[in-house]
Every structure is written in C-alpha cells, then in structure tokens.
Amino acid sequence: MSLSDFYNTEQGFRIRLDSILIEICNELETRKMKIDLPLKGFLTVVITALLTATALSQDAKPKIDDLQWMAGCWELSVPQRNMTIAEHWMKPAGGTLIGMGRTVVGGKTVSWEALRVVAGDAGIDYIAKPSSSKEETAFRLVKWSATEAVFENPEHDFPQRIIYRKGASEELFARIEGNRNGKVSGMDIPMKRAACG
C-alpha cells in the first residue's frame, strides 16, 4: 500500500489529523501562545472539516455538466489576417457536449473540425475530427475546475494538450500545445461570445 493510499484510510486520516494538530500546537507554543483544551478542540474540528473537504474534492469525478460553461458560440477575429476562428458548442445533454469549429481566411473556409466531449466509464474524452485528418483523435480530461478543462493525449503528434478556460462571461480561451519537431509550441485562441446562427 502506498503512502497516499494509506492516508486515504480512516487510520491514515486520523494520523494525518493528529500530526497537523501537533504541528499547530508546537507552532503556537514556539510563539509563546498558550493553548488550552477548548482551543485544541476547536482546532481539531476545523482541521477535520478542512481535511474532509479536501478528501471529498479529490474523490469527485467530473461530469459532462461540469463543462456547461463551454456551451455557446465563440469567435476570434483577426482583421489584419482577414481571418476568423469560430467554435460552436451545444449545451451538455445525454452524456455529450457536441461542437464544431471553422477557420475562415479571406472569405474561404480553410479548415473545420467536428468536436465532441463524451463521458464514458473510464473518464471524459475530447474527440476531434479535423478536416485535414481521416481519423478522430481522443484526448482524456486530466484536470478540471469550474473554469478550466485540460485534455491530453501524449501519443498524438500535435497537439498533445487542449486547454479551455472560462474568462469573463463573454470570453472563452482555448489553447493547443505540445511538442512539434522536438520543440515545445502552442497556440492561444482567445474567443469572445458571438451570435449563433
């Protein structure tokens, strides 16, 4: 059993709680602060609550609905290059988030891709099928929060990582990154909410 597995047991939790409480008491004594029994009891309750909340958040598994903030129509306009990059994401339903992307340069579509985020038994995958490829590529969700989703596929040529971040209510930041020809590179796509249709 690894140390992290041990700490996830009840006995490990209690040992971790006791060691944190001892460290706090020692620090208070070092600073010449007297700790009495009621304060020790209060600290025990607070530390227990914090450790329980941490343990629960570590055990939480993401759901497609957690990515609701990606839904909508998003656009990056680059007038100096006469280019527009757009992504449209439907709201989550049925265990999927369906999207599409398109890049238009000089009034012509130069690339497009079919996108979907799918929940499965093994986790959540971002699946991309760009116009330049005959194959779909899956990227596993490896990090998430209320404002960020990071998908990775270390075996893919480029990108190996796709990141979405929620900005202000009218912004969605996308980034692709990875190793290309032995060099780390990336591309930021800061999009603003656009009219759908």
Question: Residue with structure tokens 């020809």?
Answer: 181
Supply the range of the domain harboring residue 17: 3-59
Strands 148-152 and 72-78: unpaired
Asked if residue 134 and residue 96 are part of one domain, the reply reads yes
Enter the pTM of the model. Answer: 0.70
Asked if residue 83 and residue 29 are part of one domain, the reply reads no
pLDDT at 161: 98
Instruction: For 123-152, give one letter per residue: b (16+ CB within 10 A) or e.
Output: ebbbebbeeeeeeebebebeebeeeebbbb
Euclidean distance between CA atoms 177 and 163, whole angstroms: 8
Question: How many domains, in total, are found in the chain?
Answer: 2
Cis peptide bond N-terminal to 159, omega within 30: yes
Asked if residue 113 and residue 35 are part of one domain, the reply reads no
Sequential pLDDT tens for the chain (197 residues): 444 444 445 555 555 556 665 666 566 566 666 556 566 666 565 566 555 554 444 457 899 999 999 999 999 999 999 999 999 999 999 999 999 999 999 999 999 999 999 999 999 999 999 999 999 999 999 999 999 999 999 999 999 999 999 998 899 999 999 999 889 999 999 999 999 97
Phi-psi region of 194 (alpha: psi -120 to 50; beta: other; left: phi over 0): beta
Asked if residue 38 and residue 85 are part of one domain, the reply reads no
Please give the structure tokens belonging to residue 187. 């591309």
Phi-psi region of 107 (alpha: psi -120 to 50; beta: other; left: phi over 0): left
Asked if residue 130 and residue 85 are part of one domain, the reply reads yes
Q: For residue 156, give the 3-state DSSP assignment.
A: coil
CA 55 to chain centre: 18
